[in-house]
């Protein structure tokens, strides 16, 4: 690997790919439905090594979730893991913690005893690196002081065949947890570009070379699959696109390549975890500790659509059922069937979707869904055949962005037009997953047997090493000696309404966690009681920094319990300037579900408050228009016309609404008054 010239090997590889991709358009290729049909001997040989390394580095999972207040305490908590046992650790967050705990269902939710001192950004890398190492080693071998350097790597097993690359600062925190959790490497990745930057070919190839240099530095064998390093995780605010003569490709699919040899297999698969510190930690903990128990497969291709020939979902469904994962196949892939399946929320831990579309829209049978049709979700992994769905996953108004913001911790989709045949079939992916292959190796194509195995336009989100385990053979959790004396959240009686507002809010937060963990109904407070307690607290009586906690707790619990009106009412009750992006997205998720459910019943009166909440919060006119067309269609009777006009007038009279929104509502009002 040392001395490999990647810069000059990249352009020929791209030209080769473009020529063969166009050739494919004139063929009737056979789409493999299983590993046997794929017949990739390199992948099969590597998978044996992955299984062995995973078994050798396996640990017991303690039946506990630990909560911490900040990043420094988080690092101290993961440092309490050892070589035999580990457990989930989360930073306080009403939405993400409720999602994770509801899915994990621990016996105990505990608080880390104590709070660590703040560490400045220029010092946090050493703390993160040391915490990762301490979280892997037995108690007697843990270092007491900070370890120097920029790289953590174990020359000898037990370890995983992966490495995490991250900047310092907040991006180092979740990276350290993933490295410790997988017993894999961790390296500092200096980067002067961000997610929004589009790289040149030369800049992209330099980054591919930089990954190889790290392999040289750690003296790892990393020339092919099946050796020391086969998986790379990029963590945080790093670039993901680069320009080619034929358009934008995904940087993640360029890393881990021998670009001088177009026919050589890749030497690593790359996955990515991005977002805020809390979002990164959520994705890491989900990948480490959660397993899907059920699946939804939704076929947006019609029965006569030629695309269905190579991409049936029935093969995957039968495999999942035999494996023990409850699966539901929807062949009536209409928008009405989608909303019936996914609203008010997605309850499946694994989702496959066949569709096509754009960043904010996806085509189904005879209809089109939009960002508004992406549901609130339990923690899930999703594979979606769809053009441009991941064009900008940082934007929650795009398809991938909304899935990742609403609960997905794994996602596979396209950053640019990829061509249908660049996707593996659901049959092949499920065969890979159910045979123990990691997430990234299951969804990505490889050079040689698969035409689109060259650097291309598809992107893996989530821990690339996460797998799917058979439900019947999942190991039972154990008690944790390390956390035995840590403060535990327990059921508490409902506080009186005259109690101090902060005390009532603290009770609501604690009891939401107890409720999510699965405490018996006889002991735990009901979600309804918790919502009412929090919503009745006057925001004016809370310190400024605790008002978002109250608001997001009410919204999260409302969505989790299906009591959508509680979340929608926050659009009216919370001042516009105090609605955070996270709260806006939660309100929108509740309002979209309510809106489409009401429209399906023809109930315009019930739909309009949800419509108003959506258009008031959404900054995008194109997505507002999608919501407005069915309202106009229904506003044909005198009663409905009056309701529609009053709703538009309420927006125009809203002193907190911006001029752009008021002008838009005014145009609609002029049209509404002409309705006969």
List strand residue ranges (DSSP E) for 209-314, in order: 231-235, 241-244, 247-250, 269-273, 294-299
Among candidates 324, 256, 292, which has minimal Cα distance to 410?
A: 292
Chain position carrying tokens 């829209």 = 361
Burial of 18 (0-12, 13-18, 19+ CB in 10 A): middle
Between CA 457 and CA 416 the distance in angstroms is 6
In angstroms, the first-to-last Cα distance of the chain is: 74
pLDDT at 18: 40
Per-residue model confidence (pLDDT) at position 19? 38
- Are the CB atoms for 224 and 44 separated by under 8 Å? no
Residues 6+ apart with CB under 8 A from 595: 372, 607, 610, 611, 614, 627
Compute the distance between CA of residue 242 and CA of residue 8 in angstroms, rounded to an integer: 16
The answer to whether the predicted template modeling score (pTM) of the entire model surpasses 0.85 is: yes
pLDDT digits (tens, 9 = 90+) for 82-94: 999 999 999 999 9
pLDDT attached to residue 303: 82
Q: Which of helix, strand or coil describes residue 459?
A: strand
Percent of the chain predicted with pLDDT > 70: 95
- What does the alpha-carbon distance between residue 422 and residue 417 come to, in Å, rounded to a whole number? 10
Rounded-to-integer distance, Cα 400 and Cα 412, Å:
9
Residue 630 has pLDDT above 90, yes or no: yes
Give the β-pairing of 367-370 and 376-377: unpaired
Q: Tokens standing for 185?
A: 């490497």
SS3 label, residue 641: helix
Instruction: Judge whether residue 317 has pLDDT over 80.
Output: yes
Which residue is associated with the tokens 């929004």? Answer: 196
* CB distance 414 to 459 below 8 Å: yes
Is 669 or 22 the better-scoring residue by pLDDT? 669
Higher-scoring residue by pLDDT: 530, 24? 530
Helical segments of 299-387, H only = 314-323, 335-342
Residue where the block lists tokens 């703390």: 127
Q: What pLDDT score was predicted for residue 12?
A: 40
Q: Which residues of 185-203 are buried (b: 16+ CB within 10 A; e: fewer)?
A: bbbbbebeeebeeebebeb
- As a whole number, mean pLDDT of residues 377-398 equals 97
Question: What whole-number distance in Å separates Cα of residue 655 and Cα of residue 642?
Answer: 22
pLDDT tens digits along 181-232: 999 999 999 999 999 999 999 999 999 999 999 999 999 999 999 999 999 9
Distance CA(25)–CA(40), nearest Å, equals 23
Checking if the pLDDT of 426 tops 50, the result is yes
Q: How far is Cα 387 from Cα 390, in angstroms, rounded to an integer?
A: 8
**Contacting residues for 522 by C-beta, under 8 A, at least 6 apart:** none
When pLDDT is averaged across residues 171-185 and rounded to a whole number, the result is: 98
Find all residues with CB under 8 Å of 393, minimum gap 6, and list them: 274, 400, 401, 404, 411, 413, 459, 461
Q: What string of DSSP letters covers 564-578?
A: HHHHHTHHHHS-GGG
Q: How confident is the model at residue 397 (pLDDT cuts 50, 70, 90)?
A: very high
How far apart (Å, rounded) are the C-alpha atoms in residues 129 and 208? Answer: 23
Reported as a single tens digit per residue, the pLDDT across 20-57 is 444 334 355 789 999 999 999 999 999 999 999 999 99
Is the pLDDT score of 17 beyond 60? no
The answer to whether 446 and 437 are in contact (CB under 8 A) is no
Residue 74's pLDDT band, with cuts at 50, 70 and 90, is very high
Would you mind telling me the total number of residues written for the chain in this entry? 676
**228 vs 212: CA distance, rounded Å:** 13
Asked whether the bond before 261 is cis by omega within 30 degrees of 0, the reply is no
Give yes or no for residue 14 having a pLDDT over 90. Answer: no
- Res 166 pLDDT > 80: yes
* pLDDT per residue as tens digits for the range 563-614: 999 999 999 999 999 999 999 999 999 999 999 999 999 999 999 999 999 9
CB 109 within 8 A of CB 517: yes
Contact between 449 and 40 under an 8 Å Cβ cutoff? The reply is: yes
Q: How far is CA 672 from CA 323, 444, 608, 610, in A?
A: 55, 50, 14, 19
Identify the pLDDT of residue 28.
Answer: 58
Three-class DSSP category at 352: strand
* Among 323, 282, 327, 298, CA closest to 468: 323
At residue 305, does pLDDT exceed 90? no
User: Which pair of structure tokens corresponds to residue 447?
Assistant: 């050079």
Dig out the tokens for 507 from the structure: 């009770």
* Cα gap 91→93, rounded to integer Å: 6
In this structure, the strands spanning 231-235 and 162-166 are parallel
């Amino acid at each position: 690997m040392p001395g490999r010239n990647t810069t000059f090997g990249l352009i020929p590889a791209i030209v080769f790919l473009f020529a063969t991709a166009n050739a494919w358009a004139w063929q009737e290729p056979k789409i493999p439905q299983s590993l046997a049909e794929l017949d990739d001997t390199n992948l099969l040989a590597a998978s044996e090594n992955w299984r062995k390394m995973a078994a050798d580095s396996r640990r017991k999972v303690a039946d506990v979730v630990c909560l911490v207040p900040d990043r420094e305490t988080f690092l101290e908590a993961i440092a309490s893991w050892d070589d035999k046992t580990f457990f989930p650790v989360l930073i306080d967050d009403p939405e993400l913690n409720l999602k994770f705990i509801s899915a994990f269902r621990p016996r105990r939710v505990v608080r880390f005893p104590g709070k660590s001192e703040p560490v400045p950004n220029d010092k946090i890398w050493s703390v993160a690196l040391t915490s990762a190492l301490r979280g892997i080693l037995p108690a007697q071998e843990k270092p007491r002081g900070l370890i120097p350097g920029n790289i953590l790597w174990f020359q000898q097993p037990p370890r995983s065949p992966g490495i995490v690359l991250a900047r310092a600062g907040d991006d180092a925190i979740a990276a350290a947890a993933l490295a410790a959790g997988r017993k894999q490497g961790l390296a500092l990745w200096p980067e002067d570009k961000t997610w929004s930057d589009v790289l040149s070919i030369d800049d992209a190839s330099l980054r591919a070379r930089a990954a190889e240099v790290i392999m040289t530095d750690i003296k790892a064998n990393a020339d092919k699959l099946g050796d020391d390093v086969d998986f790379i995780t990029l963590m945080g605010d790093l670039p993901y696109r680069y320009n080619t003569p034929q358009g934008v490709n995904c940087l993640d699919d360029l890393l881990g390549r021998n670009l001088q040899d177009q026919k050589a297999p890749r030497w690593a698969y790359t996955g990515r975890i991005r977002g805020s510190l809390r979002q990164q930690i959520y994705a890491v903990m989900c990948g480490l500790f959660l397993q899907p128990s059920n699946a939804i497969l939704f076929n947006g291709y019609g029965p006569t659509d030629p695309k269905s020939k190579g991409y049936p979902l029935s093969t995957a469904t039968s495999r999942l059922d035999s494996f023990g994962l409850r699966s539901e196949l929807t062949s009536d892939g209409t928008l009405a069937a989608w909303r019936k399946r996914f609203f008010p929320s997605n309850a499946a831990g694994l989702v496959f979707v066949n569709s096509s579309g754009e960043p904010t829209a996806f085509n189904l049978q005879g209809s089109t869904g939009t960002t508004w049709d992406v549901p609130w979700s339990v923690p899930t992994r999703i594979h979606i055949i769809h053009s441009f769905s991941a064009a900008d996953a940082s934007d929650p108004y795009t398809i991938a962005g909304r899935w990742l913001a609403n609960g997905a911790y794994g996602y596979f989709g396209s950053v640019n037009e990829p061509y249908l045949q660049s996707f593996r079939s659901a049959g092949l992916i499920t065969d890979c997953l159910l045979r123990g292959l990691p997430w990234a190796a299951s969804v990505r194509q490889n050079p040689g047997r698969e035409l689109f195995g060259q650097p291309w336009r598809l992107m893996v989100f989530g821990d690339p090493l996460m797998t799917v385990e058979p439900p019947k053979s999942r190991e039972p959790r154990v008690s944790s000696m390390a956390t035995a004396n840590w403060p535990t959240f327990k059921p508490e009686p409902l506080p009186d309404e005259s109690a101090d507002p902060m005390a009532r809010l603290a009770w609501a937060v604690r009891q939401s966690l107890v409720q999510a963990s699965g405490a018996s109904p006889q002991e735990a407070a009901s979600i309804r009681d918790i919502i009412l307690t929090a919503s009745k607290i006057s925001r004016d009586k809370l310190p400024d920094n605790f008002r978002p906690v109250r608001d997001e707790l009410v919204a999260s619990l409302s969505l989790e319990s299906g009591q959508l009106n509680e979340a929608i009412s926050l659009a009216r009750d919370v001042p516009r300037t105090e609605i955070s992006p996270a709260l806006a997205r939660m309100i929108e998720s509740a309002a979209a579900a309510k809106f489409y459910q009401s429209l399906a019943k023809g109930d315009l009166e019930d739909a309009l408050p949800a419509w108003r909440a959506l258009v008031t919060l959404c900054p995008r006119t194109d997505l507002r228009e999608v919501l407005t067309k069915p309202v106009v269609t229904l506003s044909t009777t005198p009663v409905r016309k009056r309701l529609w006009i009053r709703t538009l007038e309420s927006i125009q009279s809203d002193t907190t609404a911006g001029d752009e929104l008021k002008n838009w509502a005014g145009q609609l009002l002029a049209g509404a008054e002409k309705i006969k």
